[in-house]
Structure 1
Amino acid sequence: MIIESKRVERNSLTWILRCPTKNDATELSKLRIEIDGETENLDRESGEGLLTPEDFEKLIYEDSVAVKNVFLVAEIDGKIVGFARCEGSKLSRFRHKAEFGICILKGYWGHGIGKVMIENILLCASTAGIKKISLTVVQTNAKAIQLYKKYGFVEEGLLINDRIHKDGNYYNTVIMGKILDN
C-alpha cells in the first residue's frame, strides 16, 4: 500500500511522513543497523538479521503492491530518521491480522514521530480491512507500552525470560493487540 506523503509539524519539529522508494534502500539498511545499536528495546543487536539494500528494495516493492502492508519513513531535511512497517498475514486463518513495528533514531525520540506513525499505520490497516493488529515490546520499555495503550492496544500476554540482553539478564516480552473497528 502506498500513502500520500504528508508534511508533519509537531513538537517544534517539521518532517515528512512518506512511503520509501527503492532509492532509500541503502539508507534504510544503514539506518536499521544504527538504530539497533542505540537501544536494547528492539529485537536485534546492531548488525544482526542484516537487511541489505537489495533486501530493502524487495520489501519496499512488495509493501507497495500488497493491500495489507504499509512501509512508512520519517524524513527530516532529506535524512530518514525512523521507519515503521505493518505486514498483513498471508495465511488464510490469519488473513484478518497484521503485525507492526516502529524504530526511530534515539535523537528523535519524544518528538511525536512514533505517534504519527501509529496513527497512520492504524488508518492504513483499517482501510485494508484488517480486524486485528498486534506487536511485541520488551516489558521494560514503559514509554512505548503507554503509547500503545493510548491508541487502544491491550496487553494480551507475556513471554517470560523471552530475551537476553548484553547485561546478561533475561527480559520479558509483552504481546499487545488491538481490535480495529472497520
Structure 2
Amino acid sequence: MKVKRQEFEKQLYEVKVQARAQAQAVAQAQIQEEVKKILDVEKASQGENLMAAIEKERMTTEDERLMAQLYWIELKAHKLVEKENQVKKQDALFREQVAKLEEKSAQFFKVTTENFKKGREDAHNTFKRVDIKPVCGDLQSQILKCYRENTGQTLTCSGIANLYMKCVDNHKTKSIGG
C-alpha cells in the first residue's frame, strides 16, 4: 500500500510539474509573440492595427483554453488526492481487521495450548509409566556380547545361553508361584 501511495504522490507531483512547465512555456511563448506583435503594430498602418487586434483576441482565446486545461489538470489532481484519502481509509480498515484477526488467533492459540497441556497431563495421570527391568539383564548382555564377538560360532556361547535360560525359567517359576 505504501508503494502505491508513493506512486500516486509521484504521479501527482509529475502532473503538477508538467502543468506548470506547460503553462510557463505557453506564457513565455505568448509574451514573446505579444512583444513581436507590438513592434509590428508600431511599424504598421491602420490595417495592421486591425490584424493585431484580431491576433490579440486569438491569444486571449488561447489563454482561456490553456486556463481551462489547467483547471482540468487541477481537477484531476484533486480527484487523485480524494482517491488517495479513500485508499488510506481502506488501508486503516484493513489494518484494523488484521489486528482483530491476529487477536482472535492469539486467543485461539492460547486456548488450544491450554487444552493440549491439560490433555497431556490427563493422559500422563491416566497412564502412569511403569519401569520394567529386563529379566536376567546381565546374562542377556553377556550373550549378546558373546554372539557379536563370535559371529557364526553360536556353540561357543552355549554355556552362557544355558545359564540365561535357567535364570529366565527360575524367574517364571517365582512369578507363577509367588
TM-score w.r.t. the length of structure 1 is 0.18
Structure number with larger C-alpha Rg: 2
> Which protein has the bigger helix share?
2
> Which protein has the bigger strand share?
1
